[in-house]
Amino acid sequence: MLKQSKSVNTANGRKLTFKPFKKPVKGLPDGFEEATWAKLQAAVRAVHNKEPVSTSLEELYKAVEDMCHHKMAESLYARLQKECDAHIASQIQRLASSSTADPVLFLDQVGAVWDDMCRQMLTIRQVFTFLDRSFVVAAPGVRSLFDMGLQQFRTHLEARPQVGEKLQRGLLQQIQTERRGDAINRQLLTNLLRMLSSLGIYSTAFEAPFLEETTQFFQEEGRRLMEELDPAGYLLHCERRLREELMRRRECLAEGTEPPLQEAVEAQLVAAHLAALLDRGFPTLVAARRLDDLARLYNLADRVDMLDPVRFAFRDHIKATGTALVMDKDKDGEMVQGLLDMKAAMDAVLQQSFEGDPDFGNTLKEAFEAFINQRQNKPAELIAKFIDAELKSGKKGQTEDQLEATLDRVLILFRYISGKDVFEAFYKKDLAKRLLLGRSASTDAEKGMIAKLKAQCGAQFTSKLEGMFKDVDLSRDIVSSFRSSTAAQARIPQGVDMNINIMTAGYWPTYPVVDAKLPAELNEYQQVFKDFYLDKHQGRRLVWHNSLGTCLLKAHFQKGPKELSVSLFQTVVLSLFNDADRLGFTDIAAATGIEDRELRRTLQSLACGKWRVLTKEPKGRDVNDGDTFVFNAGFSAQLYRIKINSIQMRETVEENTKTNEQVVQDRQHQIDAAIVRIMKTRKTLSHALLVSELLVQLKFPIRTQDMKKRIESLIDREFLARDSANSNVYQYLA
């Protein structure tokens, strides 16, 4: 209020004076506070009793404001507080004395009380807004009106523990009911849980016991269902439960409950039983290619951070099935195809169920490497043979792309094998046969294969194989120039034409030289060619390999001529019958000079097989010394050209053993060379260090036993000696 008058000088000099209103300051009427409070109290009570309020909101609002203006805020607050407190106390008391046995009804009651309280407090706060915004804000430690109400509610609730207990039981029971499959009032649940949050007692009054019950529930359920359901069904159930729990949480429970809830369910349903699930179910699921179920397993295991056990189960399964495949000696013929199929299946599982997880990928690789090397040498040999079959002519029903895809897949298997020199030995042998006997389906495919091997194993591995191809090309050139050389052509005998392959000794496999007395024309031709060749390449030595020769003969039978595709040895034998119709075994032996076993095999193929251009007396499979062979003049067949030399292509048991033995021999030499090399550099080395150094240097698997054998051999041959002072140390003897 203006107390002083103000004077202002106007433009024309007259003084203007302002005087304050002279209103007399009335003192507050007596009983102002009581009367005002009575009005307010009546309103509050009406709200609490859900009756209409007689006084208007404006008036009430002003009453509050007045009281606050007249320094009655604090006592007003106290009075209001007392009023609310009494009301809330009675509400809670009603709940405490409620005899409702049905938990749902009780929850309803609690819910109703809470709703009322909230609504009423809001209304009251509306009325007492001025108080809330002035006094409460200014005074520290004084709760806002709504909070005051909450606080009172909570206090009284805590004073009546049986209410809280009943409430808790009811809430938990609701959740269990829903878990068991029955419907509940989710809205009520949500409401009450929010109430607990607002009251600040959510964790103690609900969350902690909820989590405990959840754990127990799923512990029991997990155990029960593990007995009742098969693994795939169980996993499905886990997935469903997790989904349900999380959805309920999202709708009804506080956000903070989600992590512990999820953890509890996962721990009880998944983690606790994962080992048993893997044990019981993993192999069957994989074997039955249940990719979806496996994906589910992977996801669930990932959630509980237990991917490692799954990975080990994967590894063990691969090892078990793989070992069974590889070790079954009766099923060697199907091993490679079986391995290819298995690899494809495991790859599908890896990609589709395990999300291409790199750790699982590594485990797959390691597991394959482990089992495939359980059996020494055989897998490598069989893979080489498989590729041989693919690359040979007569293999029908594949496009180029399909062939390439197959070869790529086989090479992946090859990569797992540790003794690659066995593969090389067999591959070389088979390749040589294909090249020399003209059995390759496609040179492009052959060269492509070499390129793949080179990329995998390095140039050194394939250098000899490439050399073989070069030899074939060079031979073609030489033969062509031989054919165009008039001088040479003049000297060759009539009626013979030869195609010759010159093999550089180091590239090709070694073949035993089997002598035979060739027909004169063949000898002559060979001599002319030899002269021609050595003329161009002095200083070289040529050795004819009869066992590899093939011929195309024109044979005249009674029913007409035929072309016979035969081996050189078969030719030598057959040409004897140009001069005689019947010949005894011993005569043939003498005339051909062919080694005994080879001769018998040759005669067998001519007289005892499918195409009998000779007949044997007496009949029978075996060729005995006393047998006689007769030219089968009456021979007939559908085709004009008949192949009788398929025995050349087939691998004999001896050949196989020989190749394997050669690998063993080569390895021994390599070990010896490595030992000498190491010892020469180091001069003196302990046994343990020598062994570890060898394991690093040698590219094939080797046992310590084998190393010791070679060391002892070298000691015997005086390359090494044991150190006189320390028996575990070797000395290099220069």
Neighbours of 380 (CB within 10 A): 27
Nearest CA to 97 among 116, 113, 75, 120?
A: 113
Q: How far apart are CA 732 and CA 722, in angstroms?
A: 9
- Closest CB to other proteins among 69 and 717? 717
- Closest CB to other proteins among 94 and 709? 709
Radius of gyration of the chain (CA): 51
The SS3 call for residue 7 is strand
Backbone angles phi, psi at 398, to 5 degrees: -135, 140
Q: How far apart are CA 410 and CA 449, in angstroms?
A: 11
Contact between 728 and other proteins by CB under 8 A: the answer reads yes
Contact between 730 and other proteins by CB under 8 A: the answer reads yes
Q: Side chain identity at 634, as an amino acid letter? A: G
Q: What angle do CA 374, 376, 381 make, to 5 degrees?
A: 120
Residue 679 beta carbon to other proteins: minimum distance, rounded to whole angstroms? 13
Residue 512 beta carbon to other proteins: minimum distance, rounded to whole angstroms? 30
* C-alpha count within 13 angstroms, C-beta hemisphere, residue 192: 27
Q: Which of 66, 500, 687, 701: binder of other proteins (CB under 8 A)? A: 687
- Closest CB to other proteins among 78 and 688? 688
Q: Which span (51-59, 364-372, 630-638, 702-710) binds other proteins, by CB under 8 A?
A: 702-710
- Closest CB to other proteins among 569 and 730? 730
Q: Which of 387, 588, 711, 719: binder of other proteins (CB under 8 A)? A: 711
Which DSSP helix (H) or strand (E) runs through 525? helix 520-536
* Buried b or exposed e, range 246-276, using 16+ CB within 10 angstroms: eebeeebbeeebeeebbbbbbebbbbbbbee
Residue 699 beta carbon to other proteins: minimum distance, rounded to whole angstroms? 23
Contact between 682 and other proteins by CB under 8 A: the answer reads no
Contact between 708 and other proteins by CB under 8 A: the answer reads yes
- Closest CB to other proteins among 463 and 704? 704
Residue 327 beta carbon to other proteins: minimum distance, rounded to whole angstroms? 25
Q: Which span (189-197, 394-402, 547-555, 726-734) binds other proteins, by CB under 8 A?
A: 726-734
The single residue listed with the structure tokens 């004819």 is 544
The residues, any chain, with a CB within 8 Å of residue 194's CB and separated by 6 or more, are none
Which DSSP helix (H) or strand (E) runs through 8? strand 6-9
- Closest CB to other proteins among 296 and 710? 710
- Closest CB to other proteins among 350 and 711? 711
Q: Which two tokens stand for residue 202?
A: 């959510």
392: β partners: 440
Q: Which of 688, 695, 699, 733: binder of other proteins (CB under 8 A)? A: 688
Contact between 703 and other proteins by CB under 8 A: the answer reads no
Residue 705 beta carbon to other proteins: minimum distance, rounded to whole angstroms? 7
Q: Which two tokens stand for residue 529?
A: 């060619």
The single residue listed with the structure tokens 């039978």 is 557
Q: Are 231 and 285 in contact (CB under 8 A)?
A: yes
Residue 638 beta carbon to other proteins: minimum distance, rounded to whole angstroms? 58
Residue 722 beta carbon to other proteins: minimum distance, rounded to whole angstroms? 7
Contact between 480 and other proteins by CB under 8 A: the answer reads no
Q: Which of 705, 725, 732, 734: binder of other proteins (CB under 8 A)? A: 705
Q: Which span (157-165, 301-309, 359-367, 725-733) binds other proteins, by CB under 8 A?
A: 725-733
Distances (CA, A) of 597 to 15, 419, 601, 649: 153, 33, 6, 17
Contact between 712 and other proteins by CB under 8 A: the answer reads yes
Q: Which of 62, 540, 559, 709: binder of other proteins (CB under 8 A)? A: 709
- Closest CB to other proteins among 540 and 717? 717
Nearest CA to 110 among 50, 195, 183?
A: 195
Residue 690 beta carbon to other proteins: minimum distance, rounded to whole angstroms? 9
Q: Are 545 and 539 in contact (CB under 8 A)?
A: no
Residue 720 beta carbon to other proteins: minimum distance, rounded to whole angstroms? 10
The residues, any chain, with a CB within 8 Å of residue 179's CB and separated by 6 or more, are 217, 244
- Closest CB to other proteins among 431 and 685? 685
Q: Give the distance between the most distant pair of CA atoms in the chain.
A: 169
Nearest CA to 571 among 593, 586, 549, 601?
A: 549
| Tally: H helices and E strands in the chain | 32, 11
Q: Which of 12, 538, 638, 727: binder of other proteins (CB under 8 A)? A: 727
Backbone angles phi, psi at 10, to 5 degrees: -85, 180
Q: Which two tokens stand for residue 329?
A: 């000696």
Residue 695 beta carbon to other proteins: minimum distance, rounded to whole angstroms? 13
Q: Which of 704, 719, 732, 734: binder of other proteins (CB under 8 A)? A: 704
The residues, any chain, with a CB within 8 Å of residue 523's CB and separated by 6 or more, are none
- Closest CB to other proteins among 362 and 704? 704
Residue 685 beta carbon to other proteins: minimum distance, rounded to whole angstroms? 10
Per-residue interface string for the shown chain with other proteins, residues 641-680, x marking contact by CB under 8 A: ----------------------------------------
- Closest CB to other proteins among 184 and 685? 685
Per-residue interface string for the shown chain with other proteins, residues 19-38, x marking contact by CB under 8 A: --------------------
Q: What share of the chain is helix, strand, coil (3-state, %, to 5)?
A: 65, 5, 25
List the alpha helices (DSSP H) in 392-512.
Answer: 400-416, 420-436, 443-457, 459-484, 486-491
Residue 667 beta carbon to other proteins: minimum distance, rounded to whole angstroms? 17
Handedness of CA 607, 612, 618, 620 (dihedral sign): positive
Distances (CA, A) of 239 to 167, 236, 246: 31, 5, 11
Local structure of residue 351 (DSSP, 8 states): I
Contact between 199 and other proteins by CB under 8 A: the answer reads no
Neighbours of 32 (CB within 10 A): 15
- Closest CB to other proteins among 78 and 721? 721
The residues, any chain, with a CB within 8 Å of residue 508's CB and separated by 6 or more, are 428, 432, 468, 471
Residue 671 beta carbon to other proteins: minimum distance, rounded to whole angstroms? 14
- Closest CB to other proteins among 619 and 703? 703
Question: Which residues in the 310-349 window bind other proteins by CB under 8 A?
Answer: none
- Closest CB to other proteins among 223 and 709? 709
Q: Which span (298-306, 452-460, 489-497, 720-728) binds other proteins, by CB under 8 A?
A: 720-728
- Closest CB to other proteins among 423 and 730? 730
- Closest CB to other proteins among 16 and 725? 725
Q: Which span (275-283, 338-346, 552-560, 709-717) binds other proteins, by CB under 8 A?
A: 709-717
Residue 726 beta carbon to other proteins: minimum distance, rounded to whole angstroms? 9
Burial tier of 433 (Cβ tally within 10 Å: 0-12, 13-18, 19+) = buried
Count the site residues for other proteins by CB under 8 A: 16
Q: Which of 621, 716, 725, 734: binder of other proteins (CB under 8 A)? A: 716
Kindly list the residues in this chain that would bind other proteins in the complex (CB under 8 A).
687-688, 691, 704-705, 708-709, 711-712, 715-716, 722, 727-730
